[in-house]
Amino acid sequence: MIMSRKSIVISLCFVLMLSSSVSAQESRIDSIEARLPELKNDSLKVKAHIELSRLYYGSSLGSAMQHAQAAYEISKNKDLIWGIADAENWIANVYSVLSDYNKAMDLYLSSLEKRKKINDIEGISGSYNNIAVLYSDYFNYDKAIEYLLKALALSKSLNDEYGMAINLNNLMVMYLELGEPDKAIPYGMKCLALNQKLGNRSGIADAYNNLGDLYSMKGEYDKVEEYQKMSLNIYRQLNNLTGELIARTSIAELHMHEKKYIKAEKELKKALEIASSMEAKLQLASIHKIMADMYEKKNDYKAALYHFISFGNIQDSIFREDNANAVFEKQVILDTEYQLKEIELLEKDKALKKIEFSKQKLLGFFIIMIAGILFIIIIIASLVIQERDRNAALIHAKNTELYYSNKQIEKSQKELLKLNNSRNKFYSIISHDLLNPFSSFIDLSEILYNNSSELSESDIKKYSSSIHSAARNLFHLVKNLLDWSQSQVGKIHNDPGYLNLYEFTEGIIELLKDQAVAKKLNIVNEVPKTYIVFADRNILTVIMRNLLSNAIKYTKSGGDISIEAREEGPHIKLEVNDTGVGIKNKDIRKLLSLNESISTPGTAGEKGTGLGLIICKEFAKRMGGKLQIKSRTGLGSSFSFSITTIPMKLKK
């Protein structure tokens, strides 16, 4: 079943919840919180906050995080290494439930390092368990099993039956996810017996739930419902919302298998309420996916589409932005399990022949477009490889020079750091801003391909409009990536010539005219018609195209944009002004740094990479000028740069 692996007990290898009831747990919380202000010893304060974080973990993630952070601050101020390690571990637990795996892995590894430093064997075992759980969230079960076996060995060496019970439970879940129930069941039975011996009701509930999933995999459904209902009863008695969520989802899947859709729907709605209250994104996504499948089987396509779209939105929010690069560094490989087929939902259109023709035409367009994008990706990859080889040669040369000069060592280190940061940023942009839109093209084309017979002509036009807009944005993205990569490998050369500045800017305005018209913007060219500059047309085009495109993107409908130029000694200063949303002062420096660059959606939801202004800065520098930014939030921005040339005026 989809949710089975989330039955893993996270990070409770040395502090298990043994409460017999909700009231006992609440009484324990009230008792500790009442004594907390009276504690004078810092170590006792840290232990109290950690215990409160543990007690709140199953019912209130916000309170659990608050007490874990309090323990961290006290431990850090007093240099209590064990306290810092325990606090980091519990903060990571909360991030893991909230599906922020990047932060969770950083904190788990940091906690493990400190526990190894002080030889905390019990803590090391717990860290191994938690890292294994995180690997399982990325479906890397081989790595997860490796860490769980390490944790189990340490628990056995300490005769830590609580830790052993959790490790056995998690090993059972790993083999369950691998589809090997015969290997999983022995671990499950040992886990159940050990928890019953310890009187650990939470562990018993986890074991029941996972055994239910195992017997479901084996097709023994009479045992499934018995185990799942026993686990649900215990979770509800303990007020363990996470466990209740998992148990209800498993029971719902069993009802779906038996085609008892009314019972399944009832359980799923309760599970959805719990997941929403906990803000548990991964569980929310999984529940929406299950509900989409259920409504599709019931032929309720409208409800199925709603839940499928909700599933996709939540899934995207979990894995977007900088997670991809961080996950690669930690060797956590994403599985492709969530590549889903589209649900056939709309009624058939009577004009079938016309729609089929439109489908073939659009598919041909997509094939050409995708082939072009793949070709561009290959070119970019080739440029990156050349850059890597050039960097390797540079590093080798610098290592030789290091032997003779300490100052040269410092310089070489700074250059290497800059190159590595640029490379990491470049990979991040490619992985997120290029590959994600590419995936969107595939999804949209699949909609048209699989649902062409049900789509109306207006629907096809709507999808085509979305695809055209996305293609145009992707074109600008790829163009900026190519400009930047070529500049990094030295393939952009400054080849200046005489240009009439007014005519040149008119050409840029004409190039972006459609975008301005679409947003009802008024662009005024105030450059004197008599100005002649001595500059490289291609470099100047890249700068002006990006500056004017940015002004259009961040100016609201009906706003004004102006292009001005004036003489400043031996220079001509070219300036693009807008009445847009403006930029915060603290963000201006970030806009011009590759390592800190930011990308904000435009006033009409336009997307960007954050590379545009960085390219302008570098290209302006190549022409001997400097990019300057002035802005006031809500009032607009001014972008200007100087062209080092001998400005000339045409004779009248």
Per-residue pLDDT of 535-578, as tens digits, reads 888 889 999 999 999 899 999 999 999 999 998 877 899 999 99
Split at pLDDT 50, 70, 90, the class of 312 is confident
Residue 476: band (very low, low, confident or very high) from pLDDT cuts 50, 70, 90: low
Higher pLDDT, 257 or 353: 257
Measured CA distances, 301 to 18, 261, 267, 308 (Å): 45, 15, 20, 10
Three-state secondary structure of 450-497: HHCCCCCHHHHHHHHHHHHHHHHHHHHHHHHHHHHHHHHCCCCCCCCE
Largest CA distance in the chain: 101
How large a percentage of the chain has pLDDT more than 70? 72
> Residue range 316-342: average pLDDT?
43
pLDDT at 257 over 50: yes
pLDDT number for residue 431: 54
Do residues 161 and 194 touch, judged by C-beta distance below 8 A? yes
pLDDT at residue 119 in the model: 92
- Compute the C-alpha angle 379/326/49, nearest 5°: 170
The strand order across the sheet containing 648-649 reads 497-500, 531-535, 648-649
* Per-residue pLDDT, 478: 63
Predicted pLDDT of residue 89? 93
Residue 255 has pLDDT above 80, yes or no: yes
pLDDT at 356: 59
For 450-463, the pLDDT digits (tens) are 776 777 777 777 66
CA distance 242 to 225: 19
